[in-house]
Chain A
């Protein structure tokens, strides 16, 4: 399987994703420069974390108009797998590939810590390796990660099982204490209705090797590979 990791000016988790795909999963991976107009035949696109365009205007607002986004939006509409992590999630909401928006944390502070995340939906190409309700520990590092959407959108997300990850306490329960940024419904990650575009604030690529303290994020990338193999 061939992954493409998009590089925007200001991306800073692109190398982490590249490393995990190449050296942990032993799969093929290339960088995709945001100014190009060619996805080079990749099977999946990853929009990595970072601060594309310095987060000017709003996080992801300017990256969303990068030339390569035209191809990525087409790719997504044709059912191609697209994963947005952190800033990548912000780019996906700005581009309209995912509903809602990510606004500054309720605390007004940048939050960098490891959180408990519950896997809410395992029937996606990104979570097949997990068990429903599994609690995994993943790092977050963001200033603008508070998921917001209007009431109708939220109801839609819930009734279509589009909430894939939620912030929970160590015993796996949803609570305000466990919500690091004020996200509505403790939402940490959502998928589009078609089930091929996932956005999440936590960083699975930073938790994919036990030497880094946790390898519980690797399952997400393995799920994508398994999905491609079985399709």
Chain B
């Protein structure tokens, strides 16, 4: 079984107000050294029957067509083999 672990986040240069709010919270918790916080979305697609190449092809299509909006977001993904 192949799982696609997808992360979608704002493009660099777009202010992420949620990230900023969390950054302030971290500071008040004395968690130090954090320069920037960006919040994104984590999506997992499970492909029980596809080959790795087929799964990658479908994942890419999904990311480009609906899971991310190219005007504001970038995406990254990892494909992992998973027996369960």
* Interface residues of A, Cβ cutoff 8 Å to B: 57-58, 61-62, 65, 93-94, 99-101, 103-108, 148-150, 182
Contacts and interface: CB of A to CB of B under 8 A. Distances in A.
A104 B18 contact: yes
A58 B17 contact: no
Contact of A149 (B41, B66, B71): B71
A90 to B, nearest CB: 10
Given A57-B67, A61-B66, A101 B72 contact: yes
B66 A65 contact: yes
Interface residues of B, number: 12
Interface in B59-73: 66-67, 69, 71-72
Contacts of A182: 15, 17
A210 to B, nearest CB: 37
Interface string B1-40: 0000000001000110110010000000000000000000
Given A57-B66, A58-B69, A106 B15 contact: yes
B72 A103 contact: yes
Contacts of A106: 15, 17
27 contacts: A57-B41, A57-B66, A57-B67, A58-B69, A62-B66, A65-B66, A93-B71, A99-B71, A100-B71, A101-B71, A101-B72, A103-B14, A103-B72, A104-B17, A104-B18, A105-B17, A106-B15, A106-B17, A108-B17, A108-B18, A148-B14, A148-B71, A148-B72, A149-B71, A150-B71, A182-B15, A182-B17
B72 A94 contact: no
B75 to A, nearest CB: 12
Contacts of A104: 17-18
A135 B71 CA distance: 30
Nearest to B41: A57
A92 to B, nearest CB: 13
A93 B71 CA distance: 10
Contacts of A100: 71
Nearest to A103: B72
Nearest to B70: A101
Nearest to A61: B66
B62 to A, nearest CB: 11
Given A58-B69, A103-B14, A104-B18, 9 more contacts: A57-B41, A62-B66, A103-B10, A103-B72, A104-B17, A105-B17, A108-B17, A108-B18, A148-B14
